[in-house]
Chains A and B, each alone.
Chain A
Amino acid sequence: MATVAAVIASTHHPFYYRASTSAGADRPPFADEWVAKIEAFRQTLTRARPDVLVMVGSDHFHQLWLDNMPQFLVGKAPFYDGNFYNEEREFGLPRMFLQGHEELSSHLLREGIDAGFDLAFSNELRIDHSITCPLITLRPGADLPIVPIYTNIFAPPMPQPGRFVELGRTIRRLVESWPSDQRVAIIGTGHLSLELGGPRQFGPHGPDPEFDRKAVSWIASGDLDSALAEVSLDSLWAPGNATHGFMDFMLMMGAAGANVKADYTDSLDLFHTMEAYFTWYPEEVDAP
């Protein structure tokens, strides 16, 4: 059976690419520290020696739209183009091209549907920065095949937080039951407290540092009980109007396992939002 080589959860900050590649007067003062943290985080994936990446993210109204909105969707295509015109425009993100892994996509779809998730699928999916940003940070060569999984953290009505956790558990179980000798990293990105298009946006810190502190603690310790007790679809509006992206972190906590401590935890307090990086190793990995 396949091996889960690593479970990785991260924020996805679309400004990282521009910050890390800028120079001179254009280079923001926080760029060097940010790059150092990302390069250390990248090593946690490299050490796991993955062959294929399951990438959990959320389309930001690029290809998925309100006339036909899936809650959970699995890409099943031989290739994926990445990034859209408005992401080039606003964030300077490059166009990307990724290889898919249709066999693993098929396995997750068939077994996921049979496990009780009526997953939507796409045979032609252009992935956005929720998936390309973690590739840029964790695997900038973009040399591994991916299986993209999209969740709806964006357009009410959304699935309950507990459903995200359960999907994460299911993805982990299904990867472990995939008849293959491949090493699979499950990577998902979301947000801590975040405000977009509201009065608390683009402040000196994230809109709710207290929520961020608690959230990092829940993720780092695998404390799903506390997260599920405190987080609801209604409560997530309070830390910031885009904080439902935290449910993708909860999905990754489900994939990592209840009460399983992260093997690697880091964070960076930036303007606008806090960055946070977590890696779990289900098996022993070689020392760096």
Chain B
Amino acid sequence: MSKYLLNKFLYTVDRDPQLVERYRADPQGTVAWWEAEQANVILNCPTAERSTWLTFTDGERAALASHDYVTLFELGAHNFLTLTLFIALFERDYAEPLGFQREYAQRLSHWSVPYPDIST
């Protein structure tokens, strides 16, 4: 399990407007590209000094590639990162203010505390 890497994907996509749009339009292709090219980049180091060991599990990759925020919650991805990025992806598709955020809550309504552990 690589909660850190899930979070790194959410974090690096969320902070880049072009990547947000790319991930919205082509989640499967964006996740494949990101895992191959970006997953091992240490954010404060030159790209040549990259890590060598970071990969998604099959379940993590599938959750990201299908925009499945319920599974991301259950895998222990950081709740703030997931929410922030998915608002950027999908809030625009809902006519009512906070419509997406409320549907998001509803789709997690089978959960009560304790929630999945977000510790990394």
Which residues of chain A have a CB within 8 Å of any CB of chain B?
60-62, 65-68, 84-86, 89-90, 154-157, 196-203, 237-238, 241-242
Contacts and interface: CB of A to CB of B under 8 A. Distances in A.
A157 B119 contact: yes
Interface in B77-120: 78-84, 87-88, 98, 101-102, 104-106, 108-115, 118-120
Interface string B34-75: 000000001110000000000000000000000000000100
A66 B51 CA distance: 15
A205 to B, nearest CB: 13
B11 interface: yes
A155 B119 CA distance: 7
A90 B108 CA distance: 22
A238 B113 CA distance: 6
28 contacts: A61-B78, A61-B81, A65-B11, A66-B4, A67-B43, A84-B15, A85-B17, A86-B14, A86-B15, A89-B17, A155-B78, A156-B119, A196-B83, A197-B80, A197-B83, A198-B79, A198-B108, A199-B105, A199-B110, A199-B111, A200-B105, A202-B98, A202-B102, A203-B105, A237-B114, A241-B79, A241-B113, A242-B80
B8 interface: yes
Given A90-B88, A241-B115, A65 B101 contact: no
Contacts of A203: 105
Nearest to A271: B98
Contacts of A199: 105-106, 108-112
A90 B84 CA distance: 8
A241 B113 CA distance: 9
Q: Chain A's interface: helix, strand, loop or mixed, by majority?
A: loop
Contacts of A201: 83, 101, 104-105
Contacts, number: 78
Contacts of A237: 113-115
Given A197-B82, A198-B73, A237-B113, 10 more contacts: A61-B11, A61-B78, A61-B80, A67-B44, A86-B84, A198-B79, A198-B108, A199-B105, A199-B106, A202-B101
Contact of A197 (B79, B98, B112, B119): B79
Nearest to A156: B119
A89 B14 CA distance: 10
Contacts of B88: 86, 89-90
Nearest to B51: A67
Contacts of B101: 201-202
A241 B105 CA distance: 13
Contacts of A200: 105
A61 B10 CA distance: 11
A67 B43 CA distance: 8
Contacts of B112: 199
A201 B105 CA distance: 6
Nearest to B11: A61
